[in-house]
Amino acid sequence: MSDDRTKRGLRDLILSLAVVGVFVAFLFVVVWRPSPDPVRPVDPVPMLQAARAQAEYPVLAPTGLSEQWRPTSARFDATDGSSTWFLGYVTPEGQYVAVTQTDGDPADFISEQTVQGVPDGERTIEGRQWQQYASGDQLSLVLTDDTSTTVVTGTVSFEALEQFIGKLST
């Protein structure tokens, strides 16, 4: 008699597990959704055209990037007698790189764009002296001239920023 009860108990346990397993599988199929790509590309061309038409300085944007570089942000603001251009990308490796320019106050702009970065040397790129800044995992290269301040910044190496600068044109 106890043998019968053991067999029935084991059978009931297996049936209960099967019912729970079917229910969990059903929930998984109904509820599970693949996660969408969090990167939302934008078309930078309209903002770039507006910036180039209105800015008092030569507005820079990269050319010749592969389609794996995804533009995620493009802004142009012209207020209070100065203007600011910003263009950000996600690299093929999932890192971030941006170019931003202004003809406003360089000190505040550099501090803001480098995330209060500290000077970390300098390097010559295409015959011009760029200042290096570091702040946590963000590195920046800064060029100030008579008409504007340019900051190229990102979560990539200084060498990668330099390669990005090589692709910038007006």
Does the residue 58 lie in any domain?
yes
Judge if 153 and 69 occupy the same domain. yes
Judge if 128 and 80 occupy the same domain. yes
Does the residue 40 lie in any domain?
no
CB 112 within 8 A of CB 106: no
User: Residue 51 and residue 60: Cα distance in Å, rounded?
Assistant: 10
Judge if 76 and 138 occupy the same domain. yes
Judge if 29 and 58 occupy the same domain. no
For residue 62, give the CATH number of its domain: 3.30.200.100
pLDDT on residue 34: 73
Does the residue 38 lie in any domain?
no
- Domain span including residue 159: 45-169
Structural domain count, the chain:
2
pLDDT on residue 94: 93
Judge if 89 and 150 occupy the same domain. yes
pLDDT on residue 37: 65
Query: Which range has the worst mean pLDDT, 2-11, 60-69, 92-101?
Result: 2-11
Judge if 146 and 79 occupy the same domain. yes
pLDDT on residue 10: 82
Check: pTM over 0.85? Answer yes or no: no
Residue 123 burial by Cβ neighbours in a 10 Å radius (0-12, 13-18, 19+):
middle
Does the residue 121 lie in any domain?
yes
Contacts of 74 (CB under 8 A, 6+ apart): 42, 43, 44, 46, 47, 48, 86, 87, 88
Does the residue 84 lie in any domain?
yes
| Alpha-carbon dihedral sign for residues 103, 108, 114, 120 | positive
Judge if 98 and 149 occupy the same domain. yes
3-state secondary structure the chain: CHHHHHHHHHHHHHHHHHHHHHHHHHHHHHHCCCCCCCCCCCCCHHHHHHHHHHCCCCCCEECCCCCCCEEEEEEEEEECCEEEEEEEEECCCCCEEEEEEECCCHHHHHHHHCCCCEEEEEEEECCEEEEEEEECCEEEEEEECCCCEEEEEECCCHHHHHHHHHCEEC
Using pLDDT thresholds of 50, 70 and 90, give the confidence band for residue 31.
confident
Q: Kindly report, residue by residue over 50-59, the tens digit of the pLDDT.
A: 999 999 999 9
Q: Kindly report, residue by residue over 122-140, the tens digit of the pLDDT.
A: 999 999 999 999 999 999 9
Does the residue 3 lie in any domain?
yes
Judge if 159 and 88 occupy the same domain. yes
Does the residue 68 lie in any domain?
yes
Judge if 66 and 10 occupy the same domain. no
Judge if 159 and 118 occupy the same domain. yes
Judge if 49 and 115 occupy the same domain. yes
